[in-house]
Chains A and B, each alone.
Chain A
Amino acid sequence: MGDRRTVIPFGPQHPVLPEPIQLKLVLEDEIVVEALPQIGYIHRGLERLVKVRDFNQMVFVAERICGICSFQHAMTYCLGIERLMNIEVPERADYLRVIWSELHRVHSHLLWLGLFADGFGFESMFMETWKIREAVVDMLEATAGSRVIISTCQVGGVRRDISPEFLQQILKLADDTERKIKAIENSVMNDYTVKKRTVDIGIVSKEQAWKLGAAGPTLRGSGVKWDARMIGYAGYKYLNFEPVVETAGDCYARTKVRFREIFVALDLLRQAIAKIPSGEINVKVKGNPEGEVLVQVEQPRGEVTYTFKANGTKNLEKMHVRTPTFANIPAFLTMLPGCELADVPILALTIDPCISCTER
């Protein structure tokens, strides 16, 4: 009879995938034996634009690499250039950057929770979490001007200020969001069906996760205590928090990590608003950057690494971005062999794929 193997293409168009990626799955009767990825459907070549846009205008290109974690991309870019030019950002700008970053983290995790629930058919949870997320996105529009790509970070600080009334509204929003999420916690984390689809699926051990270079909740769900915010960039050096760690290494552990991170993010918002000082929000930038630098910042999906090389002119010589999904794909490829065909969408969503980040 020979080998009873079939090859099924998963993607690039698939109802659970938010962005196009193709996997060629080799199956033996419903168990996946091998998987070969194929990316490149959304490669825009954004890093080449450093040759025609000067270093102040590149912030707007950097924040358009991804739509969900866009503020953290802009912030990483600005942190790198500020380190090269030895610019000291005022304290109020540090706190404002933390506030906008944590709002992005809350809205990204709520978005992911909805997509994940939709991936195994739980559509009511998808609608509930996106309804809660709508209030957060409205707050981004009220403070910064637009819902998705907020364009408030610049080299030397931030471009807009948040008035004290809006800070009080953000506090009220944090309390409302916490109350609403606690109301649905039982249906997500303690539900029999959700547990049956996620416990013991896609296990990654602690040594494997570290050696494969996984990032974010994929790493922390396997027991490694590593969070790039502990480095202490921007306003995080003035705040206290602990990274959220789970030890099981399966899909349920990663879901629990992201769920608990929403509460940590709301707590960081409250701490930042209580401590924010008054003062300037940006400093003037003179001259051109020169040298090489590496920057790491914690995005909702993991840590992003930017490297720059500048040679003293107003155009950078090179900018290289390694996004967290790029680091999680090898871990995803080692989770696949041995799972069933019906689990492949769950595994694809559990690493929180943002393919437009991967192929910038």
Chain B
Amino acid sequence: MFGMLKPVLKNGFGKPATRLYPFVIREAFDNARGKLEIDIDKCIFCGMCQRKCPSTCLTVEKATCKWELDPYNCIICGVCVDACPTKCLSLNKVHRVPVYVKENQINIGKPPVKKTAAKEKA
């Protein structure tokens, strides 16, 4: 009968086991997967990320140099990060915040410079 007495006293008179969120926020772990980010200057608009994505949340248009993400459909699995040939995608460790209106994230970049043209210049 007295088996639970020790935990009960510890919980009653010790400090609480929960944090006072949102006043106290725990720092994210280093390996945590929060949201997807892109360095748009390095992107060559090959469309590899769109083909590999399991939840079809990415749209890449080569003609207008537009990279579009639906962040509320994204399952933050990281397959696009592994598949990107120029390594311009990365996962931030802080999770995205809740919002009132869902909007897509659109990044516009510049057209990729062809390698032969760059060699001629150099």
Contact = CB atoms under 8 A, between A and B. Distances in A.
Tell me, yes or no, whether A and B come into direct contact in the complex with CB atoms closer than 8 A.
yes
Interface of A: 53, 56-57, 60-61, 124-125, 127-128, 131, 138, 141-146, 151, 159-160, 183-184, 186-187, 190-192
Given A53-B54, A61-B54, A142 B31 contact: yes
B8 interface: yes
A143 B7 contact: no
Contacts, number: 52
B76 interface: yes
A178 B6 CA distance: 17
Nearest to B17: A131
A310 B53 CA distance: 22
B77 A151 contact: yes
B3 A186 contact: yes
Contact of A191 (B3, B29, B33): B3
A145 to B, nearest CB: 4
Contacts of B54: 53, 57, 60-61
B40 interface: no
Contacts of A160: 31
Interface residues of B, number: 23
Contacts of B76: 146
A275 to B, nearest CB: 24
A141 B77 contact: no
Contact of A151 (B1, B31, B78): B78
Nearest to A192: B1
B32 A141 contact: yes
Nearest to A191: B3
B4 to A, nearest CB: 5
* Chain B binding surface, main DSSP class: loop
Given A143-B31, A145-B33, A187-B3, A124 B8 contact: yes
Contacts of B3: 184, 186-187, 190-191
A184 B7 contact: yes
Interface of B: 1, 3-4, 6-8, 11, 17, 29-33, 52, 54-55, 75-79, 82, 91
A53 B76 CA distance: 17
B29 to A, nearest CB: 5
Interface centre among B1, B31, B32, B78 (most CB of A within 10 A): B31
A60 B31 contact: no
Given A124-B7, A187-B3, A159 B82 contact: yes
Contacts of A144: 31
Nearest to A52: B56
A66 B54 CA distance: 18
Contacts of B32: 141-142, 145-146
Nearest to A128: B7
A340 to B, nearest CB: 25
Contact of B33 (A57, A128, A146): A146
Given A141-B29, A146-B33, A187 B4 contact: yes
A214 to B, nearest CB: 32
Given A60-B75, A186-B3, 6 more contacts: A124-B8, A128-B7, A142-B29, A142-B30, A183-B7, A187-B3
